[in-house]
Amino acid sequence: MSSQEDLTARARIRDAAIVLFAERGIGPATIRDIAQAAGVSSGLVRHHFGSKEGLRRACDDYAMAELTKIRSEIFSDGQTILGGLHPAVIQLQRYLVRSTLDSPASTSAMFGRMVELGEEWIAEQGIQVADPRAYSAVLVAMQMGMFLMADQLTAALDTDVTKPAGHLRMMAGAIDVFTHPLPADQEAAARAVLKKLAADTLKEGTP
């Protein structure tokens, strides 16, 4: 096998793993299933990645890098969030959520990487918030939550939110949420309550 063919086989294995891991979960998707989907032998999967855990880590790295690249291109082209409706982007997002939830040992590290990327995006977009870290962490958790609740959203909206048309409707709802903030008086009241609770907590010495 030539080096180019070897590289192509590695990419096919990785892509097949991303699809099966996202659909079935990390545990249920076997090396044999992935090899069959990629059109290679199980031995070749192990040759390239060593183990299923090695393959999962490679998929994590690829998905994070690819989404970062795609999002940079999307924002530089002025497409904003709607550029993320490409099926490949949806698949990578589904994979990352599944990988994060199915791999407790790597959950914190993966979530932390997503939050850091979110903070970078906040800075690049010039979004002014008091606590960028909290803003990013909540944003990532909300995004992951939509994918985690995909079955429930699909049932509620009567359209598959893992497919472009359904994903479009889900994201339109998300945009409405973010573009319709609390009325000024309610926001002021909520922030005043939070400020008082924070002061009371500090006074009581509660961590």
pLDDT tens digits, residue range 22-80? 989 888 999 999 999 999 999 999 999 999 999 999 999 999 888 877 766 665 554 54
Q: Which of 29-33, 82-86, 162-166, 186-190 has the lowest mean pLDDT?
A: 82-86
In the chain, domain spans = 60-148
> 167 and 87 in contact (C-beta within 8 Å)?
no
Instruction: For CA atoms 150, 151, 157, 160, give the dihedral sign.
Output: positive
CA atoms of 198 and 130, how far apart (whole Å): 15
> 136 and 115 in contact (C-beta within 8 Å)?
yes
CA atoms of 161 and 47, how far apart (whole Å): 36
**Coil, helix or strand at residue 86:** coil
The pTM of this model reads 0.69
Count other C-beta atoms under 10 Å from residue 188's C-beta.
11
